[in-house]
């Protein structure tokens, strides 16, 4: 009789028990055995990330009640404060200005206008160019090339009020009158309405020296078939010869004749004076007010001086 069976099953069980109880050593530097599948790499972290990573738990900053109240008020104020809008007219950034004159009450005159933030030279052929002089606080009609350091070129809506009543409205574009201009009485009765295109009256008769219509010869202003507005004439060199103003079909105010030199732009020669308004009897023979020699020196002024018969000893361009 056999007491024990085959020793092989018993030996196999002992070996498995010994293997389960033995210590297993794992190396973190060991590389896995290559397999048929590609091993994905973690591109979002490195060893340094895992050892020096910042804490993901936000630390609470302790504030006093006054600091919390101030922070809330600042946030509310920022929400209430409207965003500052940039004034833009015809694609150009502009800045608002105004001037006062004529005293107070019914005699007070207020002009509200806009001018270019970035200086641009107006069209030299435009019949009239307008600027704002910050030092004198006046709107001026420019003569010749404009100094960008001294003047501001008007650009945008314009409004003039007298005694609190609107008496004139219009628009400027790069220093020239543009679109519709209207004048009123203090009782809001329309006196005059004109339309301009970058300084030129819409109904003006404009002639040119060249076929390409780039060199202006003469601008004769018309409104409803009647002479009205600024008149200019240039010579073939592009220099100004005459400028003046029509009103109600008549020459009014100051009319100027220039020397027309190529190297001396808009050098004045004669200044004539016509009637004050176009509704007075027409002045057929204008009054000579001033005369300058070819060097720009004043040689005649009505009732003040007359050096027209004397030789010119002054330096060119010197004015007295």
pLDDT in tens, 6-57: 555 555 555 555 555 555 444 444 444 554 444 455 544 444 544 555 554 5
**Residue 129 forms part of a structural domain:** yes
Task: Return the DSSP state at 317.
Answer: T
Task: Return the DSSP state at 310.
Answer: S
Please compute Rg for the chain using Cα positions.
Answer: 43
Same domain for 281 and 213, yes or no, is yes
pLDDT number for residue 246: 94
In terms of Cα–Cα distance, which of 96, 112, 103 is closest to 163? 103
Tell me the pLDDT tens digit for each residue of 57-99. Answer: 545 567 788 888 888 888 888 777 666 667 899 999 999 999 9
Same domain for 173 and 143, yes or no, is yes
What is the tally of structural domains in the chain?
2
**Residue 47 forms part of a structural domain:** no
In terms of Cα–Cα distance, which of 320, 316, 262 is closest to 290? 320
Which residues have a Cβ under 8 Å from the Cβ of 119 and sit 6 or more positions away?
148, 152, 153
Domain end residue (candidates: 153, 181, 202): 202
Tell me the pLDDT tens digit for each residue of 224-282. Answer: 888 988 899 999 988 899 999 999 999 999 999 999 887 777 899 999 999 999 999 98
Tell me the pLDDT tens digit for each residue of 111-161. Answer: 999 999 999 999 988 889 999 999 999 999 987 789 999 999 999 999 999
For residue 219, list its beta bridge partners: 206, 232
Same domain for 303 and 292, yes or no, is yes
User: In angstroms, rounded to a whole number, what is the distance separating the alpha carbons of residues 178 and 174?
Assistant: 9
Coil vs helix vs strand at 297: coil
In terms of Cα–Cα distance, which of 154, 129, 147 is closest to 240? 129
Domain end residue (candidates: 184, 202, 220): 202
**Residue 8 forms part of a structural domain:** no
**Residue 128 forms part of a structural domain:** yes
User: In angstroms, rounded to a whole number, what is the distance separating the alpha carbons of residues 2 and 43?
Assistant: 67
Same domain for 145 and 215, yes or no, is no
**Residue 20 forms part of a structural domain:** no
Its pTM surpasses 0.85:
no
User: In angstroms, rounded to a whole number, what is the distance separating the alpha carbons of residues 105 and 309?
Assistant: 51
**Residue 296 forms part of a structural domain:** yes
Task: Supply the range of the domain harboring residue 163.
Answer: 86-202
Percent of the chain that is helix, strand, coil (3-state, to 5)? 10, 40, 50
User: In angstroms, rounded to a whole number, what is the distance separating the alpha carbons of residues 130 and 146?
Assistant: 10
Domain end residue (candidates: 202, 230, 248): 202
User: In angstroms, rounded to a whole number, what is the distance separating the alpha carbons of residues 236 and 228?
Assistant: 25
User: In angstroms, rounded to a whole number, what is the distance separating the alpha carbons of residues 49 and 15?
Assistant: 44
Same domain for 223 and 191, yes or no, is no
């Amino acid at each position: 009789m056999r007491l024990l069976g085959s020793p092989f099953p018993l030996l196999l069980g002992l070996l498995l028990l010994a293997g389960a109880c033995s210590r297993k050593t794992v190396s973190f530097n060991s590389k896995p055995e290559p397999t048929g599948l590609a091993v994905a790499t973690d591109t979002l972290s490195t060893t340094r990330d895992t050892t020096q990573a910042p804490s993901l738990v936000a630390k609470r900053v302790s504030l006093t009640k006054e600091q919390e109240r101030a922070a809330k008020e600042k946030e509310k104020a920022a929400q209430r404060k409207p965003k500052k809008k940039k004034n833009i007219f015809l694609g150009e950034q502009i800045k608002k200005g105004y001037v006062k004159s004529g005293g107070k009450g019914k005699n007070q005159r207020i002009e509200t206008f806009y001018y270019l933030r970035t200086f641009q030279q107006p069209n030299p052929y435009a019949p009239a160019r307008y600027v704002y002089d910050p030092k004198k606080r006046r709107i001026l009609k420019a003569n010749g090339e404009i100094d960008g350091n001294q003047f501001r070129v008007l650009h945008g809506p314009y409004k003039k009020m007298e005694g609190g009543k609107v008496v004139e409205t219009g628009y400027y574009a790069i220093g020239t009158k543009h679109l519709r201009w209207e004048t009123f009485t203090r009782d809001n009765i329309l006196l005059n309405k004109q339309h301009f295109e970058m300084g030129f009256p819409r109904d003006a008769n404009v002639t040119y020296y060249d076929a390409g219509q780039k060199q202006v010869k003469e601008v004769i202003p018309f409104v409803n078939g009647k002479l009205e507005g600024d008149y200019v004439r240039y010579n073939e060199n592009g220099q100004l010869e005459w400028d003046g103003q029509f009103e109600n079909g008549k020459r009014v105010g100051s009319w100027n004749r220039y020397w027309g030199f190529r190297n001396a732009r808009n050098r004045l020669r004669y200044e004539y004076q016509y009637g004050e308004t176009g509704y007075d009897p027409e002045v057929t023979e204008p009054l000579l007010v001033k005369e300058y020699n070819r060097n720009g020196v004043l040689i005649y002024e009505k009732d003040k001086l007359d050096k027209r018969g004397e030789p010119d000893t002054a330096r060119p361009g010197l004015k007295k």
